[in-house]
Structure 1
Amino acid sequence: MPVIVDQHMRERITHEAALFPISYFENELSELPNWEGPLHWHPDFEIARAEIAALDYQVGQKHILLQPGDSLLVNGNLLHGVRQIAGDMPDPLPAIVFSGTLIAPETSTIYQKYIAPIGDCGSLPFIVFRRQDDWCGEIHCLLDEIFTCLKQRTGCYEMVVQRGLNRLLECLFRRFDALPKSQATRIQLRTQVRVQKMLSYIYTHYAEPITFTDIAEAASISRSEAARCFHEYMDCSPVNALIRYRLQTAHRLLHDASLTVQEISAACGFRSANYFGRQFRQIYGYTPGHVRSLER
């Protein structure tokens, strides 16, 4: 299933039950144009693994290269996204998004003593588990079991998953002092908040005729500062980010045969279907009609 975010740029995570707060995702990249997901965030931990291809995982302003077999834990409330940069097929990218309350209630000693120090650590935005690193061996075995259980859902899988995550977080806590830390500066934190506000505005108003000035005003900053923020996080201008999101949305809607290309163009904020077609081809290398033909 594709990454879907709400108007606050938080990924829409639908846990099957509040009492078992974990979601499993697989094959998301295959449904995303250019095998690239949008920047988003959520309050939960996320763990993803590269299976067959090289992936560029962006967390904040940092880019982490994942080779096949590598995994990554992303801490909560951080802007992140993934892009496949090598391989002829989309990577399956198995991933879990889960709350620490799956292990223990927030008010419990277990949560406060062992989980909160990891989740609340501002200098620990992510942890990389390299396949070749000896200390990660147990982590990889635990993830193998967790992913398999969530995919197959055999008997007592919830208990197996909880036990595996419990052991995984225990491993991280025991190694906490040795984990690489990177403390964000005040400027970096301020920039992330500004990008979040502007992206939230884009996601809410993309179908409307909005301007560069509108986007900058969403974060109460100047146009030049808005341009700086987007360049640092997305290597593009705010207007290009808006166009990119409009095209991503249109790409998804093109799979709905009940809508015409002209209707999709208008629904995504493009005043001209011809302009929409040119922008679409420039970004993806093929026309909207090509996507529509694949559905037949």
Structure 2
Amino acid sequence: MAEQTGLGRDFLRSYWRALGLPVTGSDEETFTEDDAQALREIADFAEAEGLSSRSLTTLVRSVGHTTERLALWQAEALVEHMAFRNDLDDTSARLLVLDRLPSLAPVLEAQLVHAWRRQLAALAGRWSVEFSGARAVDDSGHGELPLPRAVGFADIVSFTTRTASLRSSELSDFVSDFEAGARDVVTSAGGRVVKTIGDAVLFIADDVHAGAEVALGLATEGRDMAGVDVPPVRVSLVWGRVLSRFGDVFGPSVNLAARLTDEADPGTVLLDPATAALLAGDARFALTARAPREVQGLGTIAPVQLQRAYTPEL
């Protein structure tokens, strides 16, 4: 491969590792012409854009990490489908998926490219609205995180207890229903899911009011998400500045939101006082101060419960 592409062995090894793939022995025939073409293209791209080694590794790793999870997710979904449709055990269903991959893969590949293009266009649209009128500001002396966002968590109450006695198929349905339902609620209310962590969802929104709608939607609609009986969730929402990296978000507001979720009662939404102040003038929402409490690592916090304001029918 090094001879064919004109690239150094160290570059090839680092690229393959960044993709999350094993570097096999030198005597094994592993690479294809498609691999050589992809390597030439990314090397040319890096040179043309003047990418540092760190930036290039991040770009390659983003593709590797995402597609590894995607391939596993799709394969497991197909196994579940084949097992149900053909009344097969798990092993037989996996063998059937292997047999069918040559015909199934092209469709999935085309869907991946289409979805990526649409997601990139959506991102470009959001950035255009948010930043096109902004002026570059040197905030190097302030150390502020770059992006103002509403960030929150939704966490299933007593997840371990509720799932301890479930069979594998039931657990799969439970987790799938929660994730699909949560994504639908978040998206329809104007937010975006950052990631799901088994029994929890991390979401963001570009403004605090949309974030409040997402949080309330998860708390009030969570019991019937995706048309199934999903246990109550505890929800938090914090407005603050975050750092977006690796498809995730980081910052003090993320940590605070995680802790507030732990403090929330089932089916409720908790805010910090600063976020509550931003929503105080919105007639759609009702805010109720809760007793201050000590939270490890954060000291004393005075959470505020968010609810929909009662509007009597005329």
TM-score (norm 2): 0.23
Compare relative contact order (CA 8 Å, sep 6+) and give the higher one, 1 or 2.
Answer: 1
Structure with the higher fraction of residues in helix conformation: 2
Larger radius of gyration, structure 1 or 2? 2
TM-score (norm 1): 0.24
